[in-house]
Amino acid sequence: MMSSPILRTANGIIFPLTLLFAFYMALKGHNFPGGGFIGGLIAAVALMLFRMSHGRDAMTRLMPIHPRVIVAAGLAIATLTGLFPMIYGPFFSVEQEAMPMLRSFAPYVNLGVGEPVHMPSALFFDLGVLLVVIGVSVGMIVRLGEEIAPDEEEVAQA
Amino acid sequence: MTMVLAICVAVTFAVSIYLMLGRELKGVAMGVFLLGHAANLSIIAMSGSPVQTDAQQQTAEHAGVHLTSVDSPEMKDPPILTNQYANEQPLAQMVDPLPQALILTAIVIGFGVMAFLLTLLVVTNRKARTIEVSDLAEEAREA
Amino acid sequence: MTDHRIILLCVIPLVASLVSIALINRRAWSRLVGVLSFTMMLGLAFSLVLKITDAPEEQSVLVSQMGGWTAPFGISIIFDSLSGLLICAAAAVGLGAYIHSFSILDPRTERRYYHPLMQMLMFGVNLSFMTGDLFNLFVAFEIMLMASYALLVIGTSLKQLRQAYKYILLNVLASTIFLMGAGMVYGMFGTLNIADLARIIAEIEADPTRQLPAGFNALAVMFLLVFGLKGAFFPLWFWLPDTYYTIPISIAGLFGGLLTKVGVYTVARLFPLIFSSNGDMMTNSAGQWVGGTSSVIMIILAVAAAFTMFLAVLGAVSQHNVRKILAVHVISQVGYMVFGIAVMSGHALAGCAFYMVQHMVVKCALFLCCGVMEKHAGTDDLDSLGGLLKRDWPLAVLFFIAAMSLVGLPPLSGFFGKMVIIREGFAEDLWILGVIGLVTGALTLLSMLKIWSYGYWNPDKAPTVSQPQAVKSSCRSAYAGIVMLVGFALFLGFGAEAVYKVANRAGEQLENPKTYITAVLGEGAYEQVDVLIAARTVEPEEQVAESIAAPQVSTEETGPEDEQAASELPQDLAKRLIVENPPYTVSIPLGKHGSIIAEQAVSTQGALWPMPWITQTDTGWEVIEE
């Protein structure tokens, strides 16, 4: 694989900053441009760059779990967020009314410090989307990289 | 603007179909991706025409909103936010958000199809040692 | 009627697929999760169908608006008799094929995400049966197709890969056209909700001063092209036989039962609702006839039905290979369903619904039988088959019942569907189609008897690949799947009256969309159409002029609560709500839909979404700035 010292050194700065930016975009997405999908894509770009600069083994060390676990976890979070109102509505809410799936809530949660935080339930859905996008992109790049790598070696030998 | 979009859609479709008719699966895959982009562009071009269609006008009237013509012919009329107040600044700046939501979804789906098709190409190449359509047909006949 | 449980039909397979991803390396657990999921879907769908069958008309369509957003804006999930019947059949077919696959697939293939993919496929299928929104339908199709692409190449033999390219490219092309069609619909009518579209189009049709936008018929044909490709109508069926030839037989059974029927379902849902405007209603203000959509569509559908039925069955007769005969028969049977839709009367649509259900079950059962036959002989070539009647008489009995159901011998299930469709064909002057249907039935019998006589009656000529006992003991779960499906087929035959009652209701709902539209869009959504039609039929000129001159925002449309709410609003706000959420300002007209939003804002006042910045005070409404 390509391994350039310049890229590797620069990536030391770029990688954490990109991840931070991804997180910022994911949080910002409720009322502004951004969101889980965008954040996930940015994070995936960071991870792809890492894969390019540091190689396959470093990638495996950085992310020891299989990408499918991340995808499954993200989907599970999103599904549970969707299902929450269906369980909360008839059994726990004050009105005891049936609520449709994916109904969102936007409570202001008091975290004990500072002002109450606007925390819509869409946040958790977006978190799920973020994980799914990261998992899918990383899975794709890792899988395709693994598939292509042996061929490259053979071409080199030939 | 609509004309430019229409030409873009036409060119993208032409290129993608040319690629899809080729003999190499790599080109076919590229053609598939371009096809998705062409469809997305055409959604932008089609949804919310600068001139209100008859049906839209009637729907808006039915909803109790009187339509006025928009100042700029390039503005799209968002059917969700009918343009009664189009002359007020903030709304005049707005574009119909729904086609963009549709396109975003379509892009994500296209992304998935693209990933699948690429993986399929890699697997085919590994199994058959070729991604030429005619060679592949021979290989399959032998197998 | 609102019932939020219906979405569980989509959630169950989704959750099951997640669980089976987690259990990817534990075969027994994955299988258990899958079987549980299919059983739960079947049970839930069955109980919901029972609930709506005897319900009065206003409760016969179950609706759930996702996220609580009202109909034209949000995503509606709708469960009516047609969806219910098909979801029941889909879950049954899925369960049968799934159990069958335990003894067909090798463990390595099974570990390659077979279980999650099956559940995802069911998720897509159920969603496309229930969605009430064109774009959501596209998404559901894509979910289903992605799962089917992956299932198609599972095991990755070179032959499979080659066929997969054909299938994938055609479906991507169809999806692209579908996407453009959805964009066009949105451009023309400003909505994608099927019920809302049906309402708008019905109003335009009923109103002599308005006409449908140019290109509407082209749009209808475009959609027909898309769903025709997915449903394998003539002449778009060339992809089907080869595709089904190469994949593992259980999956072929599932695809043969399910996938084409999703395309047919979409035609049966969309065309009577949206693209069925009558020719005689389509006159413009000058009184000129401008041509109705149904006149175009009906001809296309009728021709497609005739050729699909007849040419495909000829293809089946000429094949000499069990799988290919069955695969080509899928197409021929689709022709009957298209025939039912082409007639477009309530009874014909009911017959079509019944036929779809029975065909899913019976066709899948036949494919599964073919799987066991292959296990016995090592091939599905009719020349090397033989003697199965002696070797394995239970299989012979099961195959015979399923084959005769497919042919349509009374009292088995195929008979009732075909009888209704062909009778309606003769009644509606489509007698050519009726005759072709009868001839096709005879040829179907011929090709089924061919399999029967070559495979079961002929003497056992081939050197036995495997001992009958060994096959029987290794195929236990395969037999279980077949027995289950044949049992369903017998139930559809002998219990046809009960099932046909549901199908009949589905046909009525398709023919008369008022129930559907009212259930989705709320009370009074269809009133305008009724008023216009009444005006047309009584006094063509004066009444229409009156009803058009009258302002149409009026309170009669929006119901008593909105009337009250509107009266409480300040004069300025009565027409619109200005919603300020810096830096955006959105003004929403308080018309038909605007009032719905306002109502929702009141009912969820406080810190809840949507629109926490609108509150109702003692004096009226207040828009607060965040």
Shared-domain flag, residues B78 and B110? no
Q: Would you call A147 and B122 a contact, using CB atoms and an 8 Å cutoff?
A: yes
Q: Which two tokens mark C366? A: 């036949």
Q: Which residues contact A118 (CB under 8 A, 6 or more apart)?
A: A30, A106, A108
A-contacting residues of C 2-61, CB under 8 Å? 2, 4, 7, 11, 14-15, 18, 21-22, 24
CB C122 within 8 Å of CB C61: no
| pLDDT over threshold 90, residue B2 | no
Q: Kindly give the pairing relationship between strand C62-65 and strand C621-623.
A: unpaired
C159/B143 CB distance under 8 A: yes
**CB proximity list for C61: less than 8 A, separation 6 or greater:** C1, C52, C78, C79, C80, C509, C515, C516, C519, C520
DSSP state at residue C381? B
DSSP letter, residue C615:
E
Span of B25-34, B88-97, C582-591 with lowest mean pLDDT: C582-591
Inter-axis angle of helices C527-538 and C194-206, nearest 10: 20
- Dist. CA C292–CA C297, nearest whole Å: 9
What pLDDT digit, counting tens, does each position of C324-350 carry? 999 999 999 999 999 999 988 889 999
Give burial (CB, 10 Å; 0-12/13-18/19+) of C30.
buried
Instruction: Give how far Cα B118 sits from Cα of B13, C247, C453, C464, C562, Å.
Output: 21, 21, 46, 43, 54
Whether C64 and chain A come into contact, CB under 8 Å, resolves to yes
* B84 lies in the same domain as B102: no
Mean pLDDT of chain C: 82
User: Do B13 and B81 sit in the same domain of this protein?
Assistant: no
Q: Does the distance separating the beta carbons of B91 and C173 come in below 8 Å?
A: no
Res C278: pLDDT: 59
pLDDT tens, residue by residue, C134-179: 999 999 999 999 999 999 988 778 888 888 888 999 999 999 999 9
Establish whether the linkage from the previous residue to C589 is cis, with ω within 30° of 0. no
Question: Do the Cβ atoms of A76 and C18 come within 8 Å?
Answer: yes
What pLDDT, in 10s, does the model give residues A75-90? 999 999 999 888 888 8
Length of chain B: 143
| pLDDT for C1 | 82
- Separation in Å, CA of C4 to nearest CA in chain A: 5
Cα angle C268-C131-C38, degrees, rounded to a multiple of 5: 95
CA distance C181 to C177: 6
Cα–Cα dist C283/C207, whole Å: 9
In DSSP notation, C83-99 reads: HHHHHHHHHHHHHHHHH
Is residue B3 located within the same domain as residue B35?
yes
Contacts of B37 (CB under 8 A, 6+ apart): B12, B16, B110
- Can you tell me the mean pLDDT for A43-72? 87
B29 and B62 housed in the same domain: no
User: Got the DSSP string for C520-574?
Assistant: HH-TTTTHHHHHHHHHHHH-TTHHHHHHHHS-TT-HHHHHHHHHHHHHHS-HHHH
Residue of B59, B120, B128 lying closest to C190 (CB–CB): B59
User: Where residue C29 falls among pLDDT bands split at 50, 70, 90?
Assistant: very high
Q: Are residues B14 and B73 in the same domain?
A: no
Residue C214 has pLDDT above 80, yes or no: no
CA distance B122 to chain A (A): 7
Minimal C-alpha gap between B9 and chain A (Å): 26
Are C618 and C567 within 8 A, CB to CB? no
What is the Cα–Cα distance from C356 to C32, expressed in whole angstroms?
29
Instruction: List the single residue in A with minimal CA-CA distance to B118.
Output: A144
Which pLDDT belongs to residue C550? 41
pLDDT tens column, C498-529: 999 999 999 998 888 888 999 998 887 888 88
Residue B129 pLDDT class (50, 70, 90 cuts): confident
With 60 as the cut, is the pLDDT of residue B68 above it? no
Q: Which pairs with CB-CB distance under 8 Å and at least 24 residues apart come from C578-585?
A: C578/C623, C579/C611, C579/C613, C579/C614, C579/C623, C580/C613, C580/C623, C580/C625, C581/A31, C581/C613, C581/C626, C582/C625, C582/C626, C584/B90, C585/B88, C585/B90, C585/B91
**Residue C405: alpha-carbon gap to chain centroid:** 22
**Cβ contact B115–A140 (<8 Å):** yes
**CA C331/CA C307 separation, integer angstroms:** 10
Whether the Cβ atoms of residue B24 and residue B124 lie closer than 8 Å to each other? no
**Residue B85 domain boundaries:** 52-95
Subunits touching A (CB < 8 Å, at least 3 pairs)? B, C
pLDDT of residue B66: 44
Mean pLDDT of all residues in C417-446: 91
> What residues does each domain of chain A span?
5-157
Whole-model pTM?
0.84
| Residue C618: pLDDT over 90 | no
**Does B112 lie at the interface with A, CB-CB under 8 angstroms?**
yes
A144 in contact with B, Cβ within 8 Å? yes
CB contact under 8 A, C591 and B62: yes
Put simply, whether A140 touches B (Cβ < 8 Å) is yes
Instruction: List CB contacts (< 8 A) between C173 and chain B.
Output: 35
Peptide bond into A100 cis (omega under 30): no
**Taking phi first (over 0 means left), then psi (-120 to 50 degrees means alpha), and beta for anything else, what does residue A96 get?**
left
% pLDDT > 70, chain C: 82
Q: Which chain C residues are Cβ-neighbours of B84 within 8 angstroms?
A: 576, 587, 589
Residue B78 and residue B118 share a domain: no
Instruction: Identify whether residues B31 and B101 lie together within a single domain.
Output: yes
d(CA B121, CA B115): 10
Looking at the predicted structure, is the pLDDT value of residue C236 above 80? yes
Examine the domain organization and report whether B71 and B137 are in the same domain.
no
Q: Which residues pair with C296 in a beta bridge?
A: none
Residue C217 pLDDT greater than 60, yes or no: yes
Contacts of C18 in chain A (CB under 8 A): 72, 75-76, 79
Percent of chain B topping pLDDT 90: 24
Kindly report the length of chain C.
626
Q: Does residue B70 sit in the same domain as residue B129?
A: no
